[in-house]
Amino acid sequence: MMTSPDLNSYHPDLIIEQAKNGWRIVRLNRPKSLHALDESIVSALLKVFEHFHEDDSVKAIWFDSTTPKAFCAGGDVRKLRQLVINNEVDTANKFFEQEYALDLLLHNYAKPIVVWGEGYVMGG
């Protein structure tokens, strides 16, 4: 069994909890941006889901957000636009690289994931 990092050390905009019977709860917590995803939060989610995939004590995952107004508004388009304007295209490309890696991991995930999306549910 792997060593577990502190569940809330992955990213300040993620709330992660251990629940009963091997369940883990992952919550997006960026309500001002309708929980839109930037490169840092996508990279953190990738690490969380990779860790949970390898951890035999994790049996299933509940994935939602902290507000009923939105589950996730997709990628943080404002931030991506600003990165391109600032000629930080490599950072913008890293967002898509990490996002597609996360999408692929979730598509092939061996454990049940329940996503509770209310309000705005947008993106990949």
Say which CATH number the domain at 23 has: 3.90.226.10
Query: By residue range, what is the domain housing residue 113?
Result: 14-122
CA-to-CA distance for 51 and 67, rounded, in angstroms? Answer: 25
**102 lies in some domain:** yes
Reduced 3-state DSSP string for the chain: CCCCCCCCCCCCCEEEEECHHHEEEEEECCHHHCCCECHHHHHHHHHHHHHHHHCCCCCEEEEEECCCCEEEECECHHHHHHHHHCCCHHHHHHHHHHHHHHHHHHHCCCCCEEECCCCEEECC
Number of domain units in the chain: 1
**3 lies in some domain:** no
**77 lies in some domain:** yes
**100 lies in some domain:** yes
Is residue 123 within 8 A of residue 73, CB to CB? The reply is yes
CA-to-CA distance for 120 and 68, rounded, in angstroms? Answer: 9
pLDDT for the residue 2:
45
**2 lies in some domain:** no
Least Cα distance to 49 among 108, 123, 94, 93 occurs for: 108
Confidence of residue 22 (pLDDT cuts 50, 70, 90): very high
pLDDT for the residue 4:
55
pLDDT for the residue 124:
59
**61 lies in some domain:** yes
**5 lies in some domain:** no
pLDDT tens-place string over residues 61-118: 999 999 999 999 998 999 999 999 999 999 999 999 999 999 999 999 999 999 999 9
Query: In the Cβ-directed half-sphere of 98, how many Cα atoms lie within 13 Å?
Result: 21
Question: pTM for the full model?
Answer: 0.89
**7 lies in some domain:** no
